[in-house]
Structure 1
Amino acid sequence: MKRYTLPQSSFLFLLGLVTLAFFWILLPFSGAVFWGVVFSIVFAPLYAQILNAVGNRPNSAALLSLLVIILMVLMPLAMITASLVDQASGVYLMIESGQIDFGRMFQQVINGLPGWAVTLLDRFELTNMASLQAKLTAAAAQISQTTARYAIDFGRNAFDFLVSTTVMLYLLFFLFRDGRTLAARIKRAVPLASRYKKPLFDNFTTVIRATVKGNVLVAMAQGALGGLIFWLLDVPGPLLWAVIMAFLSLLPAVGAAIIWGPVAIYFLVTGSVWQGVVLAAYGVLVIGLVDNLLRPVLVGKDTKLPDYIVLLSTIGGMALFGLNGFVIGPVIAALFIAAWDLFSNADEFHGE
């Protein structure tokens, strides 16, 4: 084992200290930095094509790449968010005015269930209307308090989001322009042999591209398809439910069904049989098929991760890191598998 001199040990201590201090300084903008890095990796092929098209001028290529991202990603997201807020407000007013009465809807479901199902729910006190009313009242009070708190903090949150987006775009410009140089310096600084560094770095970039590309495309497809069928079946707030299904579809295999499944059951037990049958068939054969076909092709195939690893790492990542976890989880899983593969195949670790 190599022994370091006092000056070398002191320098390594200083190196670790200033590295921790630097990351601590960046912590308030960790989300902006993270998504700046993610976007730079995902859109690197686009930047390379634009760089060739403009005659190898990095500044112009980086600016044009940012413009494409703003037009393709940020502006549509802003318009969807504005429409979502408007539709969510409309749904809230319908709930407040009694047009949407969850108590009545729940009673309709109970009345439409077979006897054995009602008996089963009775054991868990889920058919007791007085108890349910108390729970709904408590939930409504909690939602009102949360809504009021967010309304008070909306201006500050909007300003923080604007600042974070600006920081991300500013950082993204330099990551596009100087990304290869920075990546080369990072690779050179990592204290591993080249035969270890290359597969690890390759896995890192491949998984980020595949995860973002695959999960976002699947989420968009499932959200759009779910919103379309809700609109055709005249379900209130189809855009709101479409966005919720898109977010939930980040959870492989179970996501969008959390929304369309209960709605289909509600239709079936309340007498709207054809709507329930159509929604159930559409959910399984169309929305579910998108997840079953696209996700393994776009995510599992590129990352070479088994489906169950993709599922568990995505759910675990989102539980620990929030929305960022749908990228962080599979990346950690892929690096874990790659590192253990390298270890198991390296002779120097096994005395061979």
Structure 2
Amino acid sequence: MHDKLEIRAFLLFLVLVTIAFFWVLKPFFGAVFWACAITVIFHPLNQRLLRKFKGRRNLTALATLLLCILVVILPVIFIVSSVVAEGVSLYEKLQSGEVNPAVYIEQVRSAFPLLEQTLERFNIELDNLTDQAGDAAIASGKFLAQHTFSIGQNAFSFLINIALMLYMTFFFLRDGDKLVNLLIRALPLGDARERQLFTKFAEVTRATIKGNLVVAIVQGSLGGLIFWLLNIQAAILWGVLMAFLSLLPAVGASLVWIPFAVYLLATDQVTNGLILIAFGAIVIGLVDNILRPILVGRDTRMPDYLILLTTLGGIALFGISGFVMGPVIAALFIAFWGIFMHEFQRKEPEPAAPAPEEAGPPLPPPGAI
């Protein structure tokens, strides 16, 4: 009895201390998570460099981290700063009247009168759409303009989180195998199950970032490039918007380039409009079908509807980190239930064979009559 009381008290304090530990780390949750995600992505490269550097883990982790900074961190900082600058510039043009969404929609209405009739069948009025487009454009630009100052104020906090993420990434790259083995020893789920779950976590993290993020970057880059070549204002801003919308299956980036193509056709820029339609349908549209199976693989890919729901839900709950966390949680949910059905669910008893029906006396053999 005394031993059982000690064990229960110890387990209670273990749970409390663990909760307190995660509560202390809560302000840095995003930095810790992205350090884990970057480690998972760059782990294969780190292993190859480790063999080339003959087992020198510190040098290997440092080299991998420098590559990560060059390939990921610096481009992201450049894109974010460019998007903010273009968003503020667009807001100023909206305020001055240089850019007026109502004028653009009116030009489309004059060029395509059948479009208005088609929209009215779906209870969409162009007048309301004009007002909503203008309000949305001004609200979006105002948001960027207002937050530019706060971004500058929070630059120090942002840099601190980046530094913490890179610092932890270095140690995760260097000691990742030891940490995983330590967790496997500590967790009471069974070593085989734990290794299966850690493997699933790594697979889905790579699949989400490589499959979704890389495809989004490629589609956004291609969209921004064609917008720049066609001399459409704020090409980087629209390219980033296409990258975000590429998370939506089937439609994705077309929600941006189709309205611009319609506008180009409506304003007698037929050549540019046809170029944008052809480029969007053939090049941007096929990126998802070609790249995603190569980067993700058939075995780790989840259904598109599940990726969409978990991505949007993850972003709503966890912010930008939810882009990866949502699909990872869904994959672990599937993995846990798969283990449960495989190992714990009772097998249903096989149905008994039906009793033979009563029959009359056997028929005489042929020719016996």
Q: Same fold (TM over 0.5)?
A: yes
Question: Offset of 1:328 from its aligned partner?
Answer: 1.3
Cα distance in 1 for residues equivalent to 2:238 and 2:224: 6
Using the alignment, how far apart are the partners of 1:314 and 1:136 within structure 2? 26
Indicate the SS of the match to 2:7. Answer: helix
Structure 1 residues 245-254 or 111-120, which shifts more?
A: 111-120
What is the Cα deviation at residue 10 of structure 1?
1.0
* 2:346 is equivalent to residue 350 of structure 1: yes
Task: Tell me the equivalent position of 2:32.
Answer: 33
SS in 2 for 1:254: coil
Q: Structure 2: how far apart are the matches of 1:85 and 1:141?
A: 15
Q: Counterparts of 1:120 and 1:78 in 2: how far apart (Å)? A: 40
Change (3 A) 1:309 1:268: same
**2:49 corresponds to:** 50
Cα separation, partners in 2 of 1:113 and 1:38, compared to 1, 3 Å: same
Secondary structure of 2:99's aligned partner: coil
State the Cα deviation string for residues 205-256 of structure 1 (Å, max 9, x = none).
1111121112222112101111121122221111221122122223333321
Q: Give 1:308-327 correspondences, 5 Å limit.
A: 308-327=305-324
Q: Which residue of 1 aligns with 2:361?
A: none
Pair 1:112–1:44, CA change in 2 (3 A):
same
CA deviation vs aligned residue, 1:274-323 (integer Å, no higher than 9, x gap) = 32232222212111100122123323525142343333333333333332
The aligned length equals: 347
Structure 2 residue aligned with 1:172: 169
Are 2:82 and 1:83 aligned? Answer: yes
Question: What is the RMSD of the two structures over their aligned residues, measured on CA atoms?
Answer: 2.7
Is the Cα contact below 8 Å between 2:100 and 2:134 reproduced in 1? no
- Choose which of 183, 186, 191 in structure 1 pairs with 2:188: 191
Q: What do the CA deviations read for 1:154-190 (whole angstroms, capped 9, x no partner)? A: 2332111101001101111111111111111111222
Q: Distance in 1 between matches of 2:173 and 2:118?
A: 62
Identify the range of structure 1 (246-255 vs 177-186) with the bigger mean alpha-carbon deviation: 246-255
Structure 1 stretches lacking a partner, 5+ long: none
Describe the SS at the equivalent of 1:192. coil
TM-score (normalizing by structure 2): 0.84
Taking structure 1 as the reference length, the TM-score comes to: 0.88
Identity among equivalent positions (%) equals: 46
- Determine which of 210, 227, 230 is the counterpart of 1:233: 230
Q: CA deviation at 1:194?
A: 2.7
Hey, what does 1:341 align to over in structure 2?
Answer: 338
Q: What is residue 215 of structure 1 aligned with on the other side?
A: 212
Shift of 1:329: 1.9
Q: Which among 276, 298, 307 is matched to residue 301 of structure 1? A: 298
Q: Would you say the 8 A contact 1:300–1:306 is kept in 2? A: no
Higher helix share: 1
Distance 1:123 1:48 in 2: 56
Deviating runs (4+, > 6 A) in structure 1?
Answer: none
Per-residue displacement from partner, 1:7-59 (whole Å, max 9, x unpaired)? 11111111111111111111111111110010111111111122222221111
* Cα separation, partners in 2 of 1:123 and 1:312, compared to 1, 3 Å: closer
Q: Which secondary structure state, in structure 1, belongs to the residue aligned with residue 161 of structure 2?
A: helix
Shift of 1:123: 8.4
Give the aligned partner of residue 258 of structure 1.
255
Q: Which has the larger radius of gyration?
A: 2
Which digits, 9 at most, give the CA deviation of each residue in 1:46-93, with x for residues without a partner?
Answer: 111222222211111111111111112112222333333343343334
Q: 2:9 is matched with which residue?
A: 10
- Whole-angstrom CA distance in 2 between matches of 1:89 and 1:116: 32
In structure 2, the CA distance between the partners of 1:146 and 1:48, relative to structure 1 (3 Å rule), is same
Q: Distance in 2 between matches of 1:108 and 1:190?
A: 64
Q: Which of the residues 320, 326, 330 maps onto 1:329?
A: 326
Residue type at the aligned position of 2:342:
N
Residue type of the alignment partner of 2:321: N
More off after superposition, 49-58 vs 79-88: 79-88
Indicate the residue corresponding to 1:128 in structure 2: 127
Q: Which moved more, 1:93-102 or 1:188-197?
A: 93-102
Please tell me whether the aligned partners of residues 208 and 327 of structure 1 are also in contact (alpha carbons under 8 angstroms): yes
Which structure 2 residue ranges, 5 or more long, are not aligned? Answer: 349-369
Moved more, 146-155 or 331-340: 146-155
Range 92-101 or range 286-295, more displaced: 92-101
1:268 aligns to what?
Answer: 265
Contact 2:207/2:301 (<8 A) preserved? no
| Distance in structure 1 (CA, Å) of the matches to 2:239 and 2:338 | 40
